Structure 1
């Protein structure tokens, strides 16, 4: 039976971690993720977990320690944001290439410069091709639920890849919302105990982790990572189905909101989806056929399923909270448009950069996006396919 509470996104994630009771949690503070290890440290001090909590001297060290713990056979994770992720960049690739099932609680924050502590997705989008699974939350409830499911996905025998659980800095990480927590015993039973097949502290099976890979082996190692990624979509759906049976909350690779009969759609990631839903509800009440496709699993990218969900729309706006500097838009725009192209979609599409550095997104802004999509349909012309929203010209 769930328990209702009022929690920030950071506190909700920390509670999920308390319920999971990981073996090792190395941590170094950085805004706006600092509260996650701060809350968790209090659980350690109060004897609520038996996790080895390790204060380290940098984010590079926190990921290094998590890698070492995971390689040794422990369930491990850390948390960070923005420049902290940039500092552990080398280690992100090492964790993925070693097929280590560890977790990172990432609170999205603009990556300098210019220096900014507010939300956009430039940090995680920069790491999108590092070999990590990436999952995003719209609100505090989803941040909690995604973390509860994280290790089940990452540790699956067909996957064994690190997972990044992302939420929007300050917008969800510090804002307090009503959410429903699972009972501790439910989470413990759902996540289960970690039983690695191969690990450094197993005397019966000597092994090396992270050896130098010469030309004869490197390409096969990368292909091995790609093979693990091939299984992620199915595992995510299987875990979500079991989670729904326990919690009553259903998740997929994405959420299609009022998309069934929509002729105009927005595709986006993160907290601004809530604002977009308000705009959709308002426009639907006026008889307009508009909808939303909110990405939950971004890496691997569920291209075929997304193209299928958008197959009946006439116009699409793909919203990026990160700039790609390609002169064509952002990373989500590139992925979605490629998926539509391969599916031979005839929908008109535009890529909109929005919300950088925490720039506010209003219901009126999203209403205008849908109005612009209608103009595209009326003119049978996408117009500018790479635009900025809410910028002072």
Structure 2
């Protein structure tokens, strides 16, 4: 039996500690891990918890991130509650096995501390790895600060393990900006957290020799199509309701409210920034400022659930605006940004057709400043008044040297 940890009502944790505490409270059976910056402290902390008797489980040190997710797949198929953490190149090395986990319907939790992909080598945060995983069949949740990293990691277990869902879940946070920044976090007690998540519901465990089960079978053209169609169907029809159900239960437990799509000052907004991660808090602050100082009716929209994509809720959130800026913290490498593409595709089928522009920002950890957000809102106001783009459809903001823009 694991020791209980006495926690204060308010702890000062960075995002990595917040996520590792949520993992500890879930009483995971197996963590298979290969550390990589900036997610290293997540599994390092967990290893310390195990060594000090706070976890009754196994910590498996492996030779690569590919092996880490492979170990998680094996442990989950055997019937265990399983989790790990990674970033950037490690996430890329895991990519092959991510599809195995989702295709086998194994509810593994993966804490992703978002970081740029090389080359050039960079250990700081952007959303390249988040976007890399968008089609892997995993549910993707996004936290904006350490409190949300803790809350969403706890909720990830409850969402993914539900018998009607049985899908793996990523809990994202921004590298260094969230993962290494200490803030006040209000945790649940160990008993409250475990009671909220619940006992792990085993489904067809491979170690149940009385009921043999096979995972990852070869299907070829006979059943592959049907299998993937069912997985997509469940993502797009069952997950939204389950996420809302868990968000509701968490609000009753803690008073903290989460929504599939977060909206800030959108009731009367003419213009809106759509963003992910820690950038959202900066955008909110600037929207409040620019409303008071310049009378621009600015708002902010952020998908809390990035996969499955909440098409209908994005359309509803942006139903009254005249101009939208989609902020992508990832190099698009010859295209519009991923968030832009998702939002533009959603709005194309809606009754409202605002001007939609794309800003690439913050690559490799470059700061997104108040001045950047103010510039974007001013350009949005001009687009809204003109009813058409007054600036290029895609811009790199905060770039040293000549300003780059396209389309």
Q: TM-score range by the shorter chain?
A: over 0.9
User: Which 10-residue stretch deviates more, 276-285 or 68-77?
Assistant: 276-285
Measured in 1, the distance between the counterparts of 2:387 and 2:233 equals 41
Tell me which of 250, 259, 276 is aligned to 1:269: 276
Shift of 1:269: 0.5
After TM superposition, list the pairs within 5 Å mapping 1:42-53 onto structure 2.
Answer: 42-53=48-59
Structure 1 length as normaliser, TM-score? Answer: 0.98
1:289 lines up with 2:297 in the alignment: yes
Measured in 1, the distance between the counterparts of 2:20 and 2:387 equals 49
Give a deviation string over 1:231-285, Cα, whole Å, max 9, x none: 1111110000000000000001021011111001000100011111110121122
Structure 2 length as normaliser, TM-score? Answer: 0.94
- The residue that corresponds to 2:184 in the other structure is 178
Q: Give the aligned length.
A: 392
Measured in 2, the distance between the counterparts of 1:21 and 1:112 equals 34
Measured in 2, the distance between the counterparts of 1:115 and 1:307 equals 37
Measured in 1, the distance between the counterparts of 2:37 and 2:310 equals 31
- The residue that corresponds to 1:342 in the other structure is 349
Shift of 1:2: 7.5
- The residue that corresponds to 2:62 in the other structure is 56
- The residue that corresponds to 1:236 in the other structure is 243
Q: Provide the secondary structure at the position in 1 that maps to 2:84.
A: strand
Give a deviation string over 1:315-374, Cα, whole Å, max 9, x none: 0001111123343x1111100110001113221110111111111111111011000001
Q: Provide the secondary structure at the position in 2 that maps to 1:269.
A: coil
- The residue that corresponds to 2:4 in the other structure is none
Tell me which of 14, 21, 36 is aligned to 1:15: 21
Shift of 1:136: 0.7
Structure 1: runs of 5 or more not aligned = none
- Contact 1:161-1:228 within 8 A present in 2 as well: no
- The residue that corresponds to 1:306 in the other structure is 314
1:357 lines up with 2:364 in the alignment: yes
Measured in 1, the distance between the counterparts of 2:195 and 2:291 equals 42
Measured in 1, the distance between the counterparts of 2:337 and 2:177 equals 21
Q: Provide the secondary structure at the position in 2 that maps to 1:266.
A: strand
Q: Provide the secondary structure at the position in 1 that maps to 2:10.
A: strand
- The residue that corresponds to 1:254 in the other structure is 261
Shift of 1:297: 0.2
Measured in 1, the distance between the counterparts of 2:190 and 2:278 equals 27
After TM superposition, list the pairs within 5 Å mapping 1:49-198 onto structure 2.
Answer: 49-198=55-204
- The residue that corresponds to 1:373 in the other structure is 380
Shift of 1:391: 1.0
Structure 2: runs of 5 or more not aligned = 1-6, 403-407
Measured in 2, the distance between the counterparts of 1:353 and 1:313 equals 21
Q: Provide the secondary structure at the position in 2 that maps to 1:206.
A: coil
Measured in 2, the distance between the counterparts of 1:115 and 1:255 equals 33
Measured in 2, the distance between the counterparts of 1:169 and 1:96 equals 24
Measured in 2, the distance between the counterparts of 1:135 and 1:119 equals 17
Q: Provide the secondary structure at the position in 1 that maps to 2:207.
A: coil
Name segments (4+ residues, structure 1) moved above 4 Å.
none
- Contact 1:160-1:228 within 8 A present in 2 as well: no
- Contact 2:322-2:387 within 8 A present in 1 as well: no
Measured in 2, the distance between the counterparts of 1:304 and 1:384 equals 27
1:315 lines up with 2:315 in the alignment: no
Q: Provide the secondary structure at the position in 2 that maps to 1:3.
A: coil
